[in-house]
Each structure stands twice: as C-alpha cells, then as structure tokens.
A and B are shown apart, each in its own frame.
Chain A
Amino acid sequence: MRWGVLQFPGSCDERDALHACSLSGEARLVWHEERDLGGLDAIVVPGGFSYGDYLRAGAIARFSPAMEAVAEFAANGGPVLGICNGFQVLCEANLLPGALLRNENLRFVCRQVDLIPTDGPESGQIGRFEAHRWLSIPAKHGEGRYYAPEETLDEMEANGQIAFRYAPGQNPNGSLRDIAGVRNEAGNVLGLMPHPEHAVDPMTGSTDGLRVFESVARSLA
C-alpha cells in the first residue's frame, strides 16, 4: 500500500497525515506542482490553509497540477481522502458535492467530537463502518458548516453518501443535517472536517482515526 499526501503552500497537517498513512503502508509527500501520481494507491488531501485560503477555502488549490492529477486518479476509481481543508478542496474541485461555509457562530472551533458512521460497512467504498462504533476525533476549523441544496442532500442520503454525522448535540459548526463527512457517488472519494490523522496514537487520547485510514486500505484489498 503506497500513500501519497499532497502538500500545498499553506498545508499544515500533511506531516501528521504522512505519519498516519505510514502506519498502514509506505507514504510520501506529493508537492502541489507534481503531476505524476504513478505508483501510488491512495491519496490524502490534508488539512491546513492551502494558498492561504485566499478567495475561498480550497478555491485556488483546486487548480494546482497535483489536483488535476488527483481528479484523474479519482475518476479512475482511486481512493482519495480529503481532511478539513482537503475536504474543502475536493468540494471546490467538484469531486464531492456541496460546499463548506463559515461556522455558524463565526468562531474557529477546536474540540474532540464523536462521529457516527451512517451507512454501515460495504466493500469497495471508503469510510464505511458499523454505526454503533462511534469515532472520537478532533475537529479544528473555521469553515466547516456543510451545505448542499436540500434536494442534493436527499439524493445523497438515498445513495448512502453521508459518511459521518456529528453525534447528537455535538455539531460544532451548524452543518446541515449534522453532516461531518461525505462520499462521492462511487464511494472512492471521502471528505470529512474532523481530523483522523490527529487520532492515531494512544498518547492523544484516541486511536479511532486509524480506522478511517484502514478503511481506505481495506477498499483496495
């Protein structure tokens, strides 16, 4: 299993993502000007503030050579995991539906949240787990309020594209329908606001984040 972790100017969680990936395979950074993803089995678009988040979070990163390569990689069925800013980039790139707006209370949030996986396990798709096993993972963002038109949300629910919801009473940002993470229709692209890469070591209080990375590895098995 060979992971590639994108690195934009302004990325800040790529090292933790690299570490998390290295626990289930080999991992290397992919600089934003690289186009060649040859030999990589899965891609992580990490958190941070790509290109300073000028204009809109993720809006500029979407046009980077590396993201063009990721779009092609995803279209060919390759698994792509977008975390926080990476989720915003994937939405801007239209690899995932919807958009992420400023938190409802306009404040940056940083806290541990419980995530409920919503769709049950299914082979070949990433980020699917038994609903009774919640994941405790930190969230830290200023623009994490998931938005999509109501009819799109209905379709996504019907297609099993809502990957994670915040546990009752824990929605930190006003996301519609408590959505914390979504998948594309094919199930090979997953984006979520909370940070599984920061929850892979018992020292930080939870190793639930590992399950997210393992689900990517499992989808390739």
Chain B
Amino acid sequence: MERALPALGFDGIEHVRVGRMVELEADGPEQLPELCEKLLANPLIEDFEIESIDGA
C-alpha cells in the first residue's frame, strides 16, 4: 500500500499500517483482555489494544 501511494500523487506518507478494529459494547470490561486473547486476536501473530469509550 505504501508503495502505491506515490503513484497516486500522495508523497511523504510513511509507516502505513492496516489493522482491524472491533467495536463492541460490554457490561463487564474486565473480561475484554481474555476475550481478545482467546478469540479476537491470535497473540502469536497479533497485538491488541483495548480502548474504552464511555457510552451515554
């Protein structure tokens, strides 16, 4: 992708990374790390971060 950008006229763009974002609503956020390790991410090949956004 990064190599394709200059061809489209976008110069000076570096460190392009494509990832996956999962949005979910949880009553018990404490279970999320385990959920990530068991299903959402494969810890052998993927890293994950959990960011919480408080709902209204």
Interchain CB contact under 8 A, B40 and A55: yes
- Chain B, interface residues (CB within 8 Å), range: under 10
Closest to A148 in B: B44
Interchain CB contact under 8 A, A56 and B44: no
A45 lies within 8 A of chain B by Cβ: no
Residue-wise interface mask of A (79-110) relative to B, using a CB-CB cutoff of 8 A (1 in contact, 0 not): 00000000000001000001101000000000
B7 lies within 8 A of chain A by Cβ: no
Interchain CB contact under 8 A, B39 and A99: no
A59 lies within 8 A of chain B by Cβ: yes
Closest to A94 in B: B44
Q: How many A-B residue pairs have CB under 8 A?
A: 16
Interface residues of A, dominant DSSP: loop
Interchain CB contact under 8 A, A92 and B42: yes
B18 CB to nearest chain A CB (Å):
11
Q: What chain B residues lie within 8 Å of A59 (beta carbons)?
A: 39, 42
Name A's B-contacting residues (CB within 8 A). 55-56, 59, 63, 92, 98-99, 101, 147-149
- What are 16 sample pairs from A and B whose C-beta atoms fall under 8 A apart? A55-B39, A55-B40, A56-B42, A59-B39, A59-B42, A63-B39, A92-B42, A98-B44, A99-B42, A99-B44, A99-B45, A101-B45, A147-B44, A147-B45, A148-B44, A149-B44
